[in-house]
């Protein structure tokens, strides 16, 4: 079996906006974001990991990432995150 693929959500503390991505090495990817190595989040630091989920295939992770980037997906994601905080 290959490694897990992850969909993750970062919250920018600076502007309160989400960044949604996918990776097969979550720790490395979060470190890259935190060090400003990602152009999409470099000017929005600091960022905080607020949600992630694992998938058995890269294709499933990419599909989920794309869903979370839709309007309906963002609503679902906010609901998931809100329920976790409760």
Every domain of the chain and the residues it spans: 5-85
For 26-49, what is the HEC assignment?
HHHHHHHHHCCCCCCCHHHCCEEE
Confidence (pLDDT) at 2? 61
Confidence (pLDDT) at 13? 93
Say if CB 16 and CB 1 are below 8 A apart. no
| Topology of the domain covering 5-85 | GIY-YIG endonuclease (3.40.1440)
pLDDT by residue, tens only, the chain of 86 residues:
568 999 999 999 999 899 999 999 999 999 999 999 999 999 999 999 999 999 999 999 999 999 999 999 999 999 998 877 55
Confidence (pLDDT) at 83? 76
Sign for the pseudo-dihedral over CA of 33, 36, 38, 41: positive
């Amino acid at each position: 079996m290959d490694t897990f693929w992850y969909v993750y959500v970062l919250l920018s503390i600076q502007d309160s906006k989400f960044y949604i991505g996918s990776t097969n090495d979550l720790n490395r990817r979060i470190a890259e974001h935190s060090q400003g190595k990602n152009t999409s989040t470099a000017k929005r630091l600091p960022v905080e990991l607020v949600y992630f989920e694992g998938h058995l295939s890269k294709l499933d992770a990419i599909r989920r990432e794309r869903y979370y980037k839709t309007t309906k997906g963002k609503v679902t994601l906010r609901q998931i995150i809100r329920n976790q905080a409760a």
